[in-house]
Structure 1
Amino acid sequence: MGPSPGPAGGGGWVQKLVTFGLIANWILSSAGLILFNKWLLSSGGFPFPVTLTLLHQSFCGLVAVVALKLKLFECAAMERRDYLRGVVPIGALYALSLWFGNWAYIYLQVSYVQMLKAFMPAIVFVIGVTLGTEKFTWSLLWVLLWIAFGVLIASFGEVHFSAVGTVIQLSSLAFEATRLTLLQILLQRKFNPMTAMYYLSPITALFLLILFIAKEFSAVAQVIGDANPYVLLLNCCCAFVLNIAVFLLVGKTSALTMNVSGVIKDWLIIASSVLIFGSTLTRLNVLGFTIAFTGVLFYNYHRRNLKEREQPSSAPKADADEENQHLLEPQETPAPAQDR
């Protein structure tokens, strides 16, 4: 008589439930923070995107430092040379990405911002080919042109279109794509969530502080007394929760799983923006968004097949590790992503 399939089967179901829970946690955390930020910046009486992201990074960095002092996690050592060459540029790009990403919500509907994010694979591909981390293939190029076509249709159908807001959001995606390309090397260290926040959040906050002093200090100083500290603290806690959710999902699933889940997240955010903020959707919006994200799904599928063909058949585990490591697909998947 063969071994009973009960334990293995039970373990498989448990793993599936854990994975589903991690995906649901990430979707709800990300969607919740995006809608929370939109409300704060547009109608919540706090229209300061740099200040908001500075608070997020400072809070996450502070939590990481306190946790390290309490010895709640082990922190991998990093040489100063690696820090200056690796973490500092990533921190600068991340600061710009977060600033521009939140800034765009002042000009654009949440639904349209999510549609523009579908253009992320194309930007990552172009920057990756330029920096030598991506291989040019005609098949991928045609898929990316398909995505761009869908985004273009969605833009034509946008009722509250803003050229300034669109440029700001695309600039945010460009900064983010460059950051993700540089992040490949850093992710090879396989940092845990708290270690990543310990290294990345303080330097990102430093760059945001410079922007804050240059852009928003005088305006914030005039109204900071009217701001509700409990609302801002809750917003920072949401950013921290999203950080943890991203890293947990990355550690337990693959980039493909995360990106496909990101499509569900974007539909949820768009539907929520219509219900909560009264965002206007046109038929061209829906058509363009559907075309773009059909391309995103095929892009992820095609990339997965390319990686499987490139990997030796005798090293399936290496393939899985590499997929978890290369998080350069759309939907702000890599970590940390406080307000994506």
Structure 2
Amino acid sequence: MVEAQTWTTRRGSNPRLETEQVVDIPATPTGDVRYNSAINGFHSSSTTVTALIIASWYFSNIGVLLLNKYLLSIYGYRYPIFLTMLHMISCAIYSFIAIHWLEIVPFQQLVSRRQFLKIAALSVIFCFSVVCGNTSLRYLPVSFNQAIGATTPFFTAVFAFIIICKKESAEVYLALLPVVLGIVLASNSEPLFHLFGFLVCIGSTAGRALKSVVQGIILTSEAEKLHSMNLLLYMAPMAACILLPVTLYVEGNVAAVTIEKARGDSFIVFLLLGNATVAYLVNLTNFLVTKHTSALTLQVLGNAKAAAAAIVSVLIFKNPVNVMGMTGFGITVMGVVLYSEAKKRSKVTPH
């Protein structure tokens, strides 16, 4: 009777196998494990995309502010109305490409002449706000400009009360007090305070608030509602047409001056094209952030953006700041945060 060979004796009979390592092959994962891994990978990818979009939104918002400040103040290109018109032309061209070619959102046609006139009215307010904002950057540092811009909720509440008699809760109105108090402190202590720059910046902030209120009024019916990207597609060329005669009247032969500057310094062509492109990216990333997060998240990010823009501008342009001004700005931003929280609570609390 032959003794049965064991695995050990067979393995010992082959010296090559003595030195060869045994590789452990993992078991094939079950369907549930594969599904969970795919879900986790999807969430990880989605989170990365959202983070990139938010970073792009911050970059474009802060970038257009810094570029405007550099062009209008440091570089000496003192044509804010013409610059705004370039922004509108850029937004019109890029919006057409995004909607008709890339099909980021479905194209919506205007349904009536009345709707067209409503959008034209919005375009006038939009022009006023953007021109005032760009003009203010000639005279004020970006940090102070952002401090004033943070008071937008105050003007929104005021216009909503005046135009549509919309009353907020006492908590909401109380939250607006630090918004105003902070900007008063910042204004009184701003080393580079300029009265005209301050007034046009207030005008820009008020115009931005008025646009949001009026937009909510005149585009409320389901038949007239437009996606934000389609609204920009119609508003941008209207705004450019409105600004063309204004810039020719106020800023003279600005096109010839720009061409002459470009012949002597081609860098201005890069600045203007880059500035106009980033101006459109502000609107595009604004839409994408809202799509991938929520309008509330966009509002919170906006509060942080104002502080980030102020810090970056101080680091780049070295404009002087003091403790009182920083405190005032901080109070204003905190007031905006409180206002957002109060508005959120007022919506969920039955009246």
Q: Do the two structures share a fold, i.e. TM-score over 0.5?
A: yes
The 10-residue stretch of structure 1 (70-79 or 264-273) with the greater mean CA deviation from structure 2? 70-79
1:191 and 2:221 correspond:
no
With normalisation by structure 2, the TM-score equals 0.81
Could you say which residue in structure 1 is the equivalent of 2:315?
275
Could you say which residue in structure 2 is the equivalent of 1:102?
134
- Are the structure 2 counterparts of residues 113 and 87 from structure 1 closer, same or farther at C-alpha, using a change threshold of 3 Å? same
Could you say which residue in structure 2 is the equivalent of 1:168?
200
Question: Displacement, 1:10?
Answer: 4.6
Cα distance in structure 2, aligned partners of 1:23 and 1:135: 33
With normalisation by structure 1, the TM-score equals 0.83
Does the 8 A contact of 2:87 with 2:280 survive in 1?
Answer: yes
Task: State the AA in 1 paired with 2:246.
Answer: L
1:66-77 map, 5 Å: 70=101, 72=103, 74-77=106-109
For structure 1, list consecutive stretches of 5 or more residues without a partner in the other structure. Answer: 312-340
Does the 8 A contact of 1:86 with 1:182 survive in 2?
Answer: no
Does the 8 A contact of 2:140 with 2:194 survive in 1?
Answer: yes
Question: Displacement, 1:254?
Answer: 2.0
Cα distance in structure 2, aligned partners of 1:306 and 1:288: 27
Give the match's secondary structure for 2:341: helix
1:61 and 2:92 correspond:
yes
Question: Displacement, 1:84?
Answer: 3.1
1:34 counterpart (61, 65, 77): 65
Cα distance in structure 2, aligned partners of 1:212 and 1:307: 43
Give deviations 1:117-163, integer Å, cap 9, x for gaps: 12111000000111227323222111111210111111111001111
1:180 and 2:215 correspond:
no
1:301 and 2:341 correspond:
yes
For structure 2, list consecutive stretches of 5 or more residues without a partner in the other structure. Answer: 1-31, 263-267
Cα distance in structure 2, aligned partners of 1:71 and 1:262: 27
Cα distance in structure 2, aligned partners of 1:229 and 1:12: 42
Task: State the AA in 2 paired with 1:208.
Answer: L
**CA RMSD in angstroms, aligned pairs only:** 2.5
Identity of aligned residues (%): 27
Does the 8 A contact of 2:139 with 2:197 survive in 1?
Answer: yes
Cα distance in structure 2, aligned partners of 1:192 and 1:101: 21
Give deviations 1:229-269, integer Å, cap 9, x for gaps: 23211211111222211111122222221121122212221
Task: State the AA in 2 paired with 1:201.
Answer: A
Cα distance in structure 1, aligned partners of 2:102 and 2:336: 41
- Are the structure 2 counterparts of residues 310 and 252 from structure 1 closer, same or farther at C-alpha, using a change threshold of 3 Å? farther
Task: State the AA in 1 paired with 2:231.
Answer: A
Give deviations 1:7-38, integer Å, cap 9, x for gaps: 55554444433332222211111001110110
Give deviations 1:255-303, integer Å, cap 9, x for gaps: 2211211222122211111121111110011111111111111111111
- Are the structure 2 counterparts of residues 67 and 291 from structure 1 closer, same or farther at C-alpha, using a change threshold of 3 Å? closer
Could you say which residue in structure 1 is the equivalent of 2:147?
115
Cα distance in structure 2, aligned partners of 1:296 and 1:234: 31
1:87 and 2:123 correspond:
no
Cα distance in structure 1, aligned partners of 2:81 and 2:239: 11
Task: State the AA in 1 paired with 2:326.
Answer: V
1:237 and 2:272 correspond:
no
Cα distance in structure 1, aligned partners of 2:142 and 2:130: 15
Task: State the AA in 1 paired with 2:227.
Answer: F
Could you say which residue in structure 1 is the equivalent of 2:11?
none
1:218 and 2:250 correspond:
no
Could you say which residue in structure 2 is the equivalent of 1:201?
236
Cα distance in structure 2, aligned partners of 1:206 and 1:141: 39
1:46 and 2:81 correspond:
no
- Structure showing greater radius of gyration is 2
- Are the structure 2 counterparts of residues 68 and 158 from structure 1 closer, same or farther at C-alpha, using a change threshold of 3 Å? closer
Instruction: Give the number of aligned pairs.
Output: 310
Does the 8 A contact of 1:94 with 1:175 survive in 2?
Answer: yes
- Are the structure 2 counterparts of residues 136 and 306 from structure 1 closer, same or farther at C-alpha, using a change threshold of 3 Å? closer
